Chains A and B, each alone.
Chain A
């Protein structure tokens, strides 16, 4: 077995950032972040480390938006009821 800490390629910031779209996928087949050269770059580059931290934070915060806060106007339900009545499928007041 080779020593992964000593054999990996030294990445530039540009090379590291080219990998980011794959690093941040949530699917199970994504294990790019396990690659030692990516880990090594992050350990030594504050700029890329900051970038990664921010992107991770944005992805996490996105879940705040899952809970809806907005409501359609009452006209939407009125229109739905009206069209359902025309169909012969009914809908009463909401």
Chain B
């Protein structure tokens, strides 16, 4: 660990995984009932997970209409295939993975071919974050609230946004992301780093504008 340095253990091993694995009251019973086709159980599972699934779709797609379509597809897929859920992972993990895969399939159908995905998620050089040699900047620490960050993430180039959401928000590891995006783990790491650099630029600009407005 880097002692006396900000890059210490504030990033625990994938905390997002633990949070998305948290048990939900009534979920296990609803899953069992849904396997038998109980309509109330479907409604319960939808109510429990609709916001997470929809938010994930919206962040990945950046479009309300498409996000609602993919939310619908994810739950339809879930209800039709719930018999194949074996309980080897948390239900929410299984559902979110299913959702991510459906969204990625949708994106590929829109033009991001599997083979070329690695190149197509690379933004142009103009979009690439600049290196940070010698500049002096305002500190971000303590200055970024949820709404500001949400807006900044939404403004990222799609390729950066995908990897940032999957890794830093949803808690997937680089090897999982590489499999999902059919790219190398090195590419996933590189995209994530560029995403964070780009976010830093956006958030610093926002901070400067906000300071000027005061």
Residues of A within 8 A of B (CB): 13-14, 17, 20-28, 33-34, 38-39, 42-43, 47-66, 68-73, 75-77, 79-80, 83-84, 87, 89-94
Contact = CB atoms under 8 A, between A and B. Distances in A.
Interface stretch (B97-105, B109-117, B145-153): B145-153
B162 to A, nearest CB: 13
A31 B193 CA distance: 17
Contact of B200 (A39, A58, A77, A92): A58
B133 A13 contact: yes
A56 B200 contact: no
Contact of A80 (B13, B46, B56): B46
Contact of A64 (B47, B149, B192, B193): B149
A76 B37 contact: no
Nearest to B197: A55
B13 A91 contact: no
B203 interface: yes
B7 A21 contact: no
Contacts of A28: 13
Interface residues of B, number: 72
Interface of B: 1-2, 4-7, 10-11, 13-16, 19-20, 37, 39-40, 42-43, 46-47, 50-52, 54-56, 58-59, 67-68, 71-72, 75-76, 79-80, 131-137, 139-141, 144, 146, 149-150, 153, 164-165, 167-171, 173-175, 186, 189-190, 192-193, 196-197, 199-200, 203
A59 B200 CA distance: 11
Given A52-B7, A72-B50, A64 B75 contact: no
A94 B164 contact: no
Nearest to A70: B55
A42 B8 CA distance: 12
Contact of B71 (A17, A47, A50, A76): A76
The secondary structure that dominates the B interface is: helix
Contact of A79 (B15, B72, B170): B72
23 contacts: A13-B134, A21-B186, A25-B189, A51-B200, A52-B5, A54-B140, A55-B196, A58-B168, A59-B11, A61-B144, A62-B169, A63-B15, A64-B149, A65-B146, A66-B20, A68-B55, A80-B79, A83-B76, A87-B80, A89-B37, A89-B42, A91-B43, A91-B79
A23 to B, nearest CB: 7
Given A52-B6, A60-B10, A92-B40, A66 B140 contact: no
Contact of A71 (B11, B16, B54, B137): B54
A80 B68 CA distance: 11
B85 to A, nearest CB: 15
B160 to A, nearest CB: 12
Contacts of B153: 65
A92 to B, nearest CB: 4
